[in-house]
Amino acid sequence: MKVKNTENLVSLENVFKSFNQNKVLKGVSLDLNKYEVISIIGGNGAGKSTLMKILTGVYSVDNGFVKIKGKEMQNHTPSIALEIGIYLVPQEPLLFPNMTVEQNINFGYDKPKHVIREEAKRICSELDWEIDLSRMAASLTIAEQQQLEIIKGLVRQAKILVLDEPTSALTFSETKSLFTVIEKLKKEGVGIFYITHRLDEVFEISTHAVILRDGKVTLKEEIEDVTKDMLIQGLLPDGSDTGYSSTYEKNYVDHTGKPPVLKVENLTGDGFRDINFEVYQGEVVGLAGLVGAGRTEIAEAIYGITSSHSGKVKLGDKDITHMGINETVGNGLSYIPEDRFLHGIFSIGSVKNNLTAQILKNQGFFVNRKEEKIVTKKYVERLRIKLADTEQEIKSLSGGNQQKVVISRILSTNPHLIIMDEPTRGIDAAARSDIYSIITDLKNIGFSILLISSDLEEIELISNRIYGIYRGVCNAHLGPEEINATNVMKAAFGTYERSDSHVKA
Amino acid sequence: MEPMKEVILMSKLKAITKKREFRTFLFLVIIFVIVGMVNSEFLSINNLQNSLKSSLLYIVLAIGLTFVLLTGNIDISVGGTLGLSAAVSGLILKNGGSIIVAILVAVLIGALIGFINGIGVAKLNISSFIMTLGMLEITRVIQVIYTKGQWVENLPTTFKQISQVKIFGLNLLIIIVAIGVILVQMYLSKSEKGRYFSAIGDNTDGAILLGVPVQRYKIYSFVISGICAAIAGLIFASQIGFISTTAGMGIEMTVIASAVLGGVSLSGGVGTVVGASIGAVIMISINSALVYMKIPAFWNDAISGSLLITIVVADALMARRSNKNIKKERLRARVLKPEEVVTHAHAK
Amino acid sequence: MHMLSKIPKWNLALVLVLVSEVIIFGLINPRFWNVSILLGSFNDFIGIAVIGFFVTFVMITGGIDISGGSIIGLTSVVVGILSQVVGINIWLSILLALVVAGLCGLLNGILIAYGRVQAMVITLGGMLLYSGIAVVIVGLSGVSASEGISGFSQSFSTIAYGSVMGIPNSVILFVVLLIIAYILLHLSKYGRYIFLTGINQEAAEYAGINTKLVILSTYVLSGLSAGFAGIMLTSYLGSARADFGGEYLMPILTVVVLGGTLITGGKGGVIGTALASIIVGFLQIGMQMGGLSTQYIGLATGLLLIISVAILSVSDEFKSNVKRIVRLKSYKG
């Protein structure tokens, strides 16, 4: 390790942590000095959050040492962590929704209220962020909540700041202003742990990059010595190839003369307007866009979760515009939701009951247990779902296998069209490429798929055609020949040349 | 300067009228006005005091319960605690023990029951509903065993008189409880530690991260609820003059209804003791209002039941509608407007 | 730890408790081993058991229903007033009373499922409202509230006192409703929807299940079962009163939770509820026969409730801790 003009802030030595039988951290050592921004990259379940919770005193270590500013921490608690200047900005903002912004800022901070208020106002103006201190936290947008969390940390004059995927909910310009702040804090000597999935951000703001995989640090370098390929290599399980080679064949399908499976005409609703696109049989159509661009809202309106204001949705010849979920499902539409835990799985239900939840509809009064068994067996084998027993609770499976169960459930209804919203969110690299092959296989046997993703690399990789969604409007269409990283990026950021005839101003 | 002050005052007034407690209070006033129009005697100082007097023990129970509800838990055992502590201290008094000792013992019993509830909920992760439901049954039996199934009667007159003491023509207990409500309200909303309770119910993970000792404060909330139930038991004994084996039976549901009526959420994080107290006064006033309106008393439960349902459903619908609107506005704000599209294209 | 292995284990434990209970009480007082006395005692807890079966449904969806006790009183009063005061045929009165009970459940269900208000609050209000209506009906009809409405026909009292081939009607009703509840909850598609809705209502909604209707229906069933209980109780006691069932609230919840149903929803079963209600019911007569005051039963059920839930909720953590200690020892040893 090269030593600069350093003063050690955090030193984790050989930290072990397990929950019940689940070993999450298997000997992690990590140092953070003043003036450093360390990016921590790793898939879900790699142990990032656990590591940070140890740092902030929420969890205690099973084995190993936590030293902060040279002092070994025993009986580390969240309040001690706050006192010595460690502050975590969590990925999901942990605000008190029924308190005002100001109450959220001064909660648990032992200082006169007017002092805190002045400080908060000063920070807001410095950041050029506008937040009304008297608003209820429940009324803030996700981005505003994230900003409030960051302000909370800055008001407390944190010396060690942990940012857990702070940009996942921020817009482009908000992200820019956050990066300016990070730059400034770094110059002031604050040490920052920056957890992220976005590799570009790593190169933009950090001084060091650390990769955490499977409870161990697999890469720890100064940023100048790192390349993107190295990061991807570090994320992959040992012995696998670099990256996802383009093995996902994209056979060109000629649709002329064939009717579309799904046709969306001038669809307008909350969060989007004048959306036009169609999906043909046997193709993957991508909806590319950033978080908050309105893609999920479009999908939910098509599926019947929310209602649209005007426009038309046709599935085959059938107008499904004003149908509820019950009817859209009955007509052959299916949806893999963005938030798997909230909307996708029945966590304490068995794998079998999860998988067969939608075939029940076509059964009689009694549950047909024989059919359940057959269907479960078929999909467990077909999608290579790793499990000990089909009666085991689904929450005990890995994220990738959980998603495979959800996909199986959808396939069991034999749908005309599958909408997949962020199908690989929170899934590790190996399972990710597994899901990609599944999607490609499905396409090849004639399924039609509408793929929604903010992972632009992913959408470029497996889509036949791509529509760009930017701030609620569909302003770009990429045909098979136009799909490349730059164009997809442009489409998502709303800067693609409008060569497409679908979009009318 | 003057207009400035007025603006601040106005905005403060506006903020108050938006509060749930204010609406509950308004509702209470409306009840009194309507009944008063039918029978003006209802608005006599004497009756108002009587209404408050009979609400007292419900208010005290509601104060304690609010602590528990704020943290997102529930306490069903208050009726049992009330009965047991009243019976034990009643026997002490009957056997010639001093009033101070009787009060201390009652409070200790309440604190102990609350502590056991708290340990069960916070440390053993037992659902608070089940824990306190079991505790309710247990305390009832202990009361029966302790009193050998007898009523505790013939309490000393000095003790019974406590509930009748007047200062400046006002009942002393009313004054004490009113001051108590205000102090507890200040503690819960203004003090650092007091806000821990609602923070726990509002967002437990957030509270942990900000250094709130969550388990400890959950236990505190049950201890406070237990102590309040014991104090309510003492008020009960002093006001009624005897303690039956069924004293406080079913009271927990009335208190929960009062708190909910007063805007305390059963999912935690929202509510004030002022609101819960007003809710308690409403629940009790319905009874005497019926008497003054010459409506048979058997309408009481039907009216309070439908009232509770109506208010809660209206509240829920209103809250959902405003949430929906906020979400809609947020979504709409994101969408690129037609005129922006043009400028966007030009910008390139 | 998965669904199918955990709950039967709990049921097995309940069976063991039941068997040892019978043995112990029989040793104290051999009259307890008299089968006809045991079967006859079903009349004392049939109401708790029957409502418990369907409150189990409600609790699996993640809700709660505490209004069952007051629906008993309302049904009782409706049967009494219709048949004795208005003079309608007793069987028609029973049918109408059941309709009223179902409507009470329907109101609960609509407000909870479609109004999306907390079940606890709505059924608390319902509890006040339904028993309030019963009191109002009694009050308006001019019947003495304390004495209740009596003078029921002989045929009405055979509902509770009759028997078929030596088996009391209450036992038959218990078994029949248990079988119906079991089929609905554990074998039918509807039952599976109840579980799925209870585990994750949003996910069930996304999977095209009409979760609101599922939730609504469980409250209707729960209300109806309270209606049955009300009629049984009225027949058993020979009079109709508004305050019948008032003390049933705690026992009903006790048997459901003791039966192994998670109060947070998603897991549970009616077999457990049935076993728990027999345990609690036998406890009562056992104590009577053993010369103990029935007032002590609260202590026993209260402790049973807390201990069983403590075991259910602590067991996961406890087991892994034990395993860890064992493993540590084996490392060292």
B117 and B209 inside one domain? yes
Provide the sign of the torsion angle of the four alpha carbons B60, B61, B63, B67, taken in this order. Answer: positive
Structure tokens given for C191: 């039952």
Phi and psi of A359, rounded to 5°? -85, -15
Tell whether B2 is covered by a domain. no
Burial class (CB in 10 A: 0-12, 13-18, 19+), C29: middle
User: Last residue of some domain: B250, B280, B295?
Assistant: B295
Least confident of A104-118, B23-37, B89-103, B327-341: B327-341
Average pLDDT in the A362-375 region? 90
The whole-number pLDDT of residue C8 equals 67
Domain with A426 in it = 244-332+416-505
A304 and A439 inside one domain? yes
Tell whether A437 is covered by a domain. yes
Which of A343, A350, A366 comes nearest C2 by C-beta? A350
The band of C330, judged by pLDDT with boundaries at 50, 70 and 90, is very low
Can you tell me the distance from the alpha carbon of B261 to that of B259, in angstroms, rounded to the nearest whole number? 5
B80 and B102 inside one domain? yes
Tell whether A252 is covered by a domain. yes
- pLDDT > 70 fraction of chain B, expressed in percent and rounded: 91
The verdict on a CB contact (< 8 Å) between C250 and B301 is: no
Comparing A412 with A489, the larger pLDDT belongs to A412
**Mutation to test the B interface, candidates A473, A493, A498, most B Cβ within 10 Å:** A473
Tell whether A340 is covered by a domain. no
d(CA C241, nearest CA chain B) in Å: 14
Phi and psi of A211, rounded to 5°? -110, 130
Q: Which residues of C touch B120 (CB under 8 A)?
A: 306, 310
Residue numbers of B between 311 and 330 with CB closer than 8 Å to C: 312-313, 316-317, 320
B205 and B99 inside one domain? yes
Structure tokens given for A221: 């370098």
Give helix B273-292 / helix B20-38 axis angle, nearest 10°.
10
Give C265-323 pLDDT, tens digit per residue: 999 999 999 999 999 999 888 888 877 766 677 777 788 888 877 776 665 555 555 55
| Res. A363: pLDDT tops 70 | yes
Q: Which residues of A touch B326 (CB under 8 A)?
A: 139
Instruction: Report which secondary-structure segment, H or E, holds A218.
Output: strand A216-222
B195 and B343 inside one domain? no
Q: What spatial distance separates the first Cα and last Cα of chain C, rounded to whole Å? A: 28
Beta strands in chain C (DSSP E): 163-164, 167-168
With beta carbons less than 8 A apart as the criterion, state whether A1 and A14 touch: no
The band of C326, judged by pLDDT with boundaries at 50, 70 and 90, is low
Tell whether A3 is covered by a domain. no
A14 and A118 inside one domain? yes
Tell whether B6 is covered by a domain. no
- Say how many domains are in chain B: 2
Give B28-62 pLDDT, tens digit per residue: 888 888 888 888 888 888 888 888 888 999 999 99
Which of B209, B323, B328 comes nearest A270 by C-beta? B328
Buried b or exposed e, range A338-349, using 16+ CB within 10 angstroms: bebeebbbbbbb
- pLDDT > 90 fraction of chain A, expressed in percent and rounded: 22
The verdict on a CB contact (< 8 Å) between B211 and A78 is: yes
The band of A171, judged by pLDDT with boundaries at 50, 70 and 90, is low
Average pLDDT in the A182-207 region? 86
B153 and B104 inside one domain? yes
Tell whether B182 is covered by a domain. yes
| Res. A166: pLDDT tops 60 | yes
Total residue length of chain A: 505
Question: Which residue in B215, B229, B227, B128 sits closest to C305, CA to CA?
Answer: B128
The whole-number pLDDT of residue C102 equals 97
Strand partners, A352: none
Average pLDDT in the B117-142 region? 89
B78 and B52 inside one domain? yes
Residue numbers of C between 189 and 208 with CB closer than 8 Å to A: 189-193, 195-196, 199-200, 202-208
Q: Is C2 on the interface with A (CB under 8 A)?
A: yes
The whole-number pLDDT of residue A253 equals 64
The band of B276, judged by pLDDT with boundaries at 50, 70 and 90, is very high
Tell whether A341 is covered by a domain. no
Can you tell me the distance from the alpha carbon of C317 to that of A346, in angstroms, rounded to the nearest whole number? 22
Give C207-253 pLDDT, tens digit per residue: 999 999 999 999 999 999 999 999 999 999 988 888 888 888 888 98
- The rounded mean pLDDT for chain C is 86
Provide the sign of the torsion angle of the four alpha carbons A113, A114, A117, A123, taken in this order. Answer: negative
Which of A20, A346, A360 comes nearest C199 by C-beta? A346
Give A103-146 pLDDT, tens digit per residue: 888 887 878 888 888 888 888 887 777 778 888 887 777 677 87
- pLDDT > 90 fraction of chain C, expressed in percent and rounded: 50
Comparing C333 with A354, the larger pLDDT belongs to A354
Tell whether B11 is covered by a domain. no
The verdict on a CB contact (< 8 Å) between A271 and B342 is: no
Beta strands in A34-145 (DSSP E): 37-41, 63-68, 71-72, 86-89
The whole-number pLDDT of residue A250 equals 66
| Res. B204: pLDDT tops 50 | yes
Q: Which residues of B touch A82 (CB under 8 A)?
A: 210-211
Tell whether B291 is covered by a domain. yes
| Res. B84: pLDDT tops 70 | yes
For residue A362, give the amino acid letter.
Answer: N
A161 and A254 inside one domain? no
The whole-number pLDDT of residue C3 equals 45
With beta carbons less than 8 A apart as the criterion, state whether A352 and A360 touch: no
The residue assigned the tokens 């026997």 is: B91
Give B279-322 pLDDT, tens digit per residue: 999 988 888 888 888 888 888 888 888 888 888 888 788 878 87
A223 and A363 inside one domain? no
| Res. A239: pLDDT tops 50 | no
A178 and A301 inside one domain? no
Average pLDDT in the B245-273 region? 87
Can you tell me the distance from the alpha carbon of C136 to that of B297, in angstroms, rounded to the nearest whole number? 9
Least confident of A164-168, C130-134, C171-175, C275-279: A164-168
B155 and B289 inside one domain? yes
- The rounded mean pLDDT for chain A is 83
The whole-number pLDDT of residue C329 equals 46
Whether the model clears a pTM of 0.90, i.e. scores above it, the answer is no
B186 and B277 inside one domain? yes
For residue C176, give the amino acid letter.
Answer: V
Average pLDDT in the A489-502 region? 66
Running DSSP on this structure, what letter comes out for residue A241? P
A379 and A471 inside one domain? no
- Say how many domains are in chain A: 3
**Mutation to test the B interface, candidates C117, C120, C243, C254, most B Cβ within 10 Å:** C117
Can you tell me the distance from the alpha carbon of C294 to that of C274, in angstroms, rounded to the nearest whole number? 21
User: Last residue of some domain: A235, A268, A284?
Assistant: A235
Structure tokens given for B130: 């089940």
A123 and A108 inside one domain? yes
Q: Is A423 on the interface with B (CB under 8 A)?
A: no
A273 and A132 inside one domain? no
Chains that touch B (3 or more CB pairs under 8 A): A, C
Domain with B318 in it = 300-348
The verdict on a CB contact (< 8 Å) between A110 and B192 is: yes
3-class SS of residue B53: helix
Question: CATH for C3-296?
Answer: 1.10.3470
Tell whether A385 is covered by a domain. yes
Can you tell me the distance from the alpha carbon of A312 to that of C185, in angstroms, rounded to the nearest whole number? 40
A126 and A260 inside one domain? no
The whole-number pLDDT of residue A451 equals 94
3-class SS of residue A207: coil
Tell whether B10 is covered by a domain. no
B275 and B168 inside one domain? yes
Other C-beta atoms within 10 Å of C323: how many?
Answer: 12
Tell whether B179 is covered by a domain. yes
Give C75-95 pLDDT, tens digit per residue: 999 999 999 888 889 999 999
A92 and A159 inside one domain? yes
A223 and A250 inside one domain? no
Other C-beta atoms within 10 Å of A219: how many?
Answer: 16
A376 and A480 inside one domain? no
Can you tell me the distance from the alpha carbon of A379 to that of A40, in angstroms, rounded to the nearest whole number? 36
